[in-house]
Amino acid sequence: MRVLIVGGGGREHALVWKIRQSPEVTDLYCAPGNPGIAELADCVPIGPSDIVELADFAEKLRIDLTVVGPELPLTLGIVDEFEKRGLTIFGPNRRAAEIEGSKVFSKEFLRKYNIPTPKAEVITNLEAGLPAVDKIGLPCVIKADGLAGGKGVTIVESREEAEKTLRSIFEDKSLGNAGHRILVEEFVTGEEISFIVLSDGTSVVPLATAKDYKKIFDDDRGPNTGGMGAHSPAVVVSGETQGQILKDVIYPTIKGMEAEGRPYKGCLYAGLMLTDQGPKVLEFNCRFGDPETQPTMLRMDSDLVPLLLRSAKGGLDEVKVTWKKEAAVSIVLVAKGYPGYFEKGKPIEGFEDVNPEDGVVVFHAGTAMSSGTLVTNGGRVLNVSARGASLTEACDRAYRAAEKIRFDGKFYRRDIGYRALARMKPAAPK
């Protein structure tokens, strides 16, 4: 069968890497791809948001399955365009993807269906901002309604900081159209995890649990990023907790979306805080996580393609997924200055020193070729990922490999998995 992956980051490289292993796949394409992906698939120079052009390509080449990586084309309606032409595509349609595209819609949906989530106020102008902060209490979280590339969330601890953030959003338009509405949300404490399932609209298949590290600096300090690393399993999620999440969050969401006339097919990602009162939904995403996908794909033992096909066509409950009895971790190497201003075009060296026999796979996120040289081309540059019999071994392997890769201004967190390791028992993860 012929498969097309839409996107060009580390998540898409991980999906390409896994899908290439499927005996079902004869031809594999990626639009637009990146230099790492180009070693496994034919890269097509079409942007992820060029929906009609992507559909034309899939129609012309008789693509059997299209898999969408980023959220933007999903919220723009790529699934609607493909399905209109009778093309099989993995992902939610435009109305279902609003669960990520609008945090206000998501919050109101959660309230309507009594799904646990922090309390929040919806704000549409600067004047209403501080009264909402006073009502919710400090510290609180200010969230942009629309897509902001993982950078639309700010935790504020004082009224002065809140006012500065609100002015930046409403007066300086720092988040563009994503900030035309915002949420002022209660700050809740606990352990944050990513819980991701596949759905065909009625049935769900949970993926292995994962934990993402969003802050730029060690010890969860500094501004939010798109993700500085992740590991699987999340360690803090017991079988009992997983059952509670499915019962209280996932199934009510799938049923609620169906009741709203927005049947949900594809990948549903719940960003959760495990609080003393139980799991609470911080956000929903309508696609695979990045960088959670990287360690998750390393641990998946099953063929991914049948899962994606059944999610798109139905019958997901007839497919079982198995996982390697190992842990996996992904360390994100970023450019100096990220998530703020950063320079591109820095030569990347050291790949020849990374030994894949150590269970290490390096996924390209923001790279490009320039005059035959691999160079940096984004804030998040590479995802150094590894498997191991334990999380300790996986971390050791990934960090050793991360040291060997070189580019000017390279930076990465050195504590990915540190809280999980403190909780780990000697036994391998289940």
DSSP code string of 249-313 = IIHHHHHHHHHTT---EEEEEEEEEEETTEEEEEEEESS--TTTHHHHHHHB-S-HHHHHHHHHH
Rg (CA), the chain: 21
Task: Express each pLDDT in 71-117 by its tens digit.
Answer: 999 999 999 999 999 999 999 999 999 999 999 999 999 999 999 99
Q: What are phi and psi of 41, to 5 degrees?
A: -145, 165
pLDDT of residue 32: 98
Q: What percent helix, strand, coil does the chain show, rounded to 5? A: 35, 30, 35
Q: What are phi and psi of 274, to 5 degrees?
A: -85, 100
Q: What is the pLDDT along the chain (430 residues), one digit of tens a residue?
A: 999 999 999 999 999 999 999 999 999 999 999 999 999 999 999 999 999 999 999 999 999 999 999 999 999 999 999 999 999 999 999 999 999 999 999 999 999 999 999 999 999 999 999 999 999 999 999 999 988 776 788 999 999 999 999 999 998 888 888 788 999 999 999 988 999 999 999 999 999 999 999 999 999 999 889 999 999 999 888 889 999 999 999 999 999 999 999 999 999 999 999 999 999 999 999 999 999 999 999 999 999 999 999 999 999 999 989 999 999 999 999 999 999 999 999 999 999 899 888 889 999 999 999 999 999 999 999 999 999 999 999 999 999 999 999 999 999 999 998 777 776 554 444 4
The domains of the chain are located at: 2-93, 119-186, 191-423
| Beta-strand relationship, 360-364 and 380-388 | antiparallel
Of the CATH numbers 3.90.950.20, 3.40.190.10, 3.40.50.20, 3.30.67.10, which one belongs to the domain with range 2-93? 3.40.50.20
Cα distance between residue 339 and residue 368, in whole Å: 19
Cα distance between residue 174 and residue 54, in whole Å: 31
CB burial readout 20-47, b (16+ within 10 A) else e: eebeebeebbbbbbbbbbeebbebbebe
- List, in sequence order, every beta strand (DSSP E) within 74-173: 89-90, 120-123, 140-144, 153-156
CATH 3.30.470.20 fits 191-423, yes or no: yes
Task: Express each pLDDT in 158-171 by its tens digit.
Answer: 999 999 999 999 98
Architecture of domain 119-186: 2-Layer Sandwich (3.30)
pLDDT of residue 421: 78
Helix (H) / strand (E) containing 12: helix 10-19
Cα distance between residue 291 and residue 227, in whole Å: 6
Contact 116, 279 (CB under 8 A): yes
